[in-house]
Amino acid sequence: MRGGNWVGVVGRRLRKKTSYSSVHSISSTPTEYPNILGPNLPDVWTPTNQSHRPQSSAIFSNGNSARIIDGKPIAKDIKFRIAGEIQRMKAAIGKSPGLAVVLVGQRRDSKTYINIKLRACDEVGIATMVEELPESCTESELLDVVSRFNEEPSVHGIIVQLPLPQHLDEEKIMTVVSPEKDVDGFHPLNMGNLALRGRQPFFIPCAPKGCIELLLRFGVQISGKRSVVIGRSKIVGLPTALLLQRHHATVSTVHSFTKNPEQITSQADIVVSDVGIPNLVQGNWLKPGSVVIDMGTNLVKVSSQNLTFPLAKAGISCN
Ligand SMILES: NC(=O)C1=CN([C@@H]2O[C@H](COP(=O)(O)OP(=O)(O)OC[C@H]3O[C@@H](n4cnc5c(N)ncnc54)[C@H](OP(=O)(O)O)[C@@H]3O)[C@@H](O)[C@H]2O)C=CC1
Ligand SMILES: Nc1nc(=O)c2c([nH]1)NC[C@@H]1CN(c3ccc(C(=O)N[C@@H](CCC(=O)O)C(=O)O)cc3)C=[N+]21
């Protein structure tokens, strides 16, 4: 079982068992949804139709309740829309997008993440290629591969899988990926443009973009709300905070040097946990009615019937 990407609206005690609609269909009119956040990032957002928000409820052992958004139907809908756009592109100009992934070394987790991306590309019709380099490769060998993909017209997006081995300068390599092909959004030009009002990055890091998309589709008002992002990495924490700010939230960032994080999070309307520590955020860190998104995943060992097996567990405990 895998956890993470958990979203909930934390409520007070459950009065009686309540059922929430979980109706969602990929055949519903796509134009009813806000645009998938891209370069056309809206500065002002209009709530979507309530009936399209897939929800279920959870009751915790202490009697607290939360409404839970299942992101999977939303992901399905987004893939459905992208597949349709790619089909139209093929029909109109005879071309389809291509993604190149560069993997240095043999990390099992990196291979798993890459396989998830390749499978998603297959599903929607994006061509993929993977360039594998040995752990011992030199910086100039890696830069050559990236430069070749920068020049290759059939490659429209480049991912250099992180983390890289220690002897390679990650920041330098990020700046060599062409900003127009930087689908991770890690190039300083893209990250900088995300941070600057009125500017538009070519790409926004995907997990933060997905987080905002979930909030928008769930009808959560962001503008003017107090939000706390736990974590500040370039992959998730920092771009999430920047995106929330672009949507006019008042944003605080909690990191490993933050004192009294529970006090800060307990004032927030929206809490996004971008840290891979299980159960870091406890129920008493959250104000009733707050919206919580957990993007963290981590492998933990769980004993059950004398078996121990790895489980990806979310970083938020509501007990
Ligand atoms: N759902 C998705 O699509 C994605 C999920 N993830 C997941 O998100 C999690 C974080 O990943 P990533 O950002 O790459 O990890 P990093 O290790 O790069 O960053 C972790 C962040 O958490 C902060 N942090 C660490 N300990 C604490 C603490 N006790 N209290 C508050 N803040 C703390 C760190 O602070 P400091 O800066 O001070 O060190 C840092 O900013 C992981 O579980 C990862 O698997 C990542 C990418 C995509
Ligand atoms: N260049 C680069 N870009 C990255 O975006 C990048 C990276 N390097 N290195 C590693 C981190 C980590 N990361 C995660 C992605 C998904 C989940 C995740 O939780 N995915 C869900 C959904 C999986 C699915 O869609 O099937 C799950 O596993 O349940 C976690 C972590 C990305 N990273």
Task: Provide the whole-model pTM.
Answer: 0.85
Reply yes or no on whether the pLDDT at 24 is more than 80. Answer: no
Please give the distance, rounded to the nearest whole angstrom, from the Cα atom of residue 299 to the centre of ligand 1. Answer: 14
Residue 117: Cβ within 10 Å count: 18
The Cα 105–Cα 111 span in angstroms is 10
Q: Does any ligand 1 atom lie closer than 6 A to the CB of residue 296?
A: yes
Domains located in the chain, CATH noted: 11-36+45-77+204-312 (3.40.50.720), 97-193 (3.40.50.10860)
Task: Give strand pairing partners of 9.
Answer: 67, 291
117, 181, 209, 225: the catalytic one is 117
Which atom of ligand 2 is closest in space to residue 113's alpha carbon?
15
pLDDT digits (tens, 9 = 90+) for 81-138: 999 999 999 999 999 999 999 999 999 999 999 999 999 999 999 999 999 999 999 9
Q: Does any ligand 1 atom lie closer than 6 A to the CB of residue 207?
A: yes
Q: Which two tokens stand for residue 311?
A: 């489980």
User: Is there a catalytic annotation at residue 79?
Assistant: no
Q: Does any ligand 1 atom lie closer than 6 A to the CB of residue 313?
A: no
182, 184, 274, 294: the catalytic one is 184
The Cα 278–Cα 285 span in angstroms is 14
CB 284 within 8 A of CB 266: yes
pLDDT digits (tens, 9 = 90+) for 161-183: 999 999 999 999 999 999 999 99
pLDDT digits (tens, 9 = 90+) for 37-66: 444 445 444 444 444 555 677 776 667 777
The Cα 227–Cα 212 span in angstroms is 12
Half-sphere exposure of 319 (CA within 13 A, CB side): 3
